[in-house]
A = this chain, B = another copy of it.
Amino acid sequence: MKSLKKAGLIKTQPRMLILDIFEAQEKKHLSTNDIYMALQRNKTPLSLGTIYRVVNQFEKSGLIQSHHFSPDNAVYELCAADNHDHMIDIRTGKIVEFHDEIIEKRQKEIAEEYGLDLVDHKFILYGYFN
């Protein structure tokens, strides 16, 4: 369970509600609209404005991480200890996470070769799951 206090954020009701959504959801990658609708279902609605603000604060605090798998909208997931990459089914939108040491290692070597001080990376595979 993540801590708002540890993240340097006042413990408010909206922030707790949103954090709960992330921890309760079977789906790990949520759009602001997913969060909005989940809160509606829970009878604890919040405004979209607040959801956007909270999600941005969470990201700055390192609680969650954003992804732009589609140019249309961002999705967010709780930060995990392992840094994993993603593969996405173009038809269904299904997201599968994976971690690969060969890729991790190789990207560091490439960055080194090119004199790039590596800060972040994005590795996404798109296709169709059998």
Residues of A within 8 A of B (CB): 68, 71, 74, 87, 89-90, 96, 98, 100, 102-103, 106-107, 110-111, 114-130
> In the bound complex, do residue B121 and residue A125 qualify as a contact, i.e. CB atoms below 8 Å apart?
yes
A-B contact pairs, 20 of them (CB 8 A): A68-B71, A71-B71, A87-B110, A87-B116, A89-B116, A96-B116, A100-B110, A102-B102, A103-B107, A107-B123, A116-B130, A117-B129, A118-B126, A119-B128, A120-B125, A120-B127, A121-B125, A122-B122, A122-B123, A123-B124
Instruction: Report the separation of the CA atoms of residues A127 and B87 in the bound assembly, to the nearest whole angstrom.
Output: 23
> In the bound complex, do residue A129 and residue B103 qualify as a contact, i.e. CB atoms below 8 Å apart?
no
Instruction: Report the separation of the CA atoms of residues A124 and B107 in the bound assembly, to the nearest whole angstrom.
Output: 10
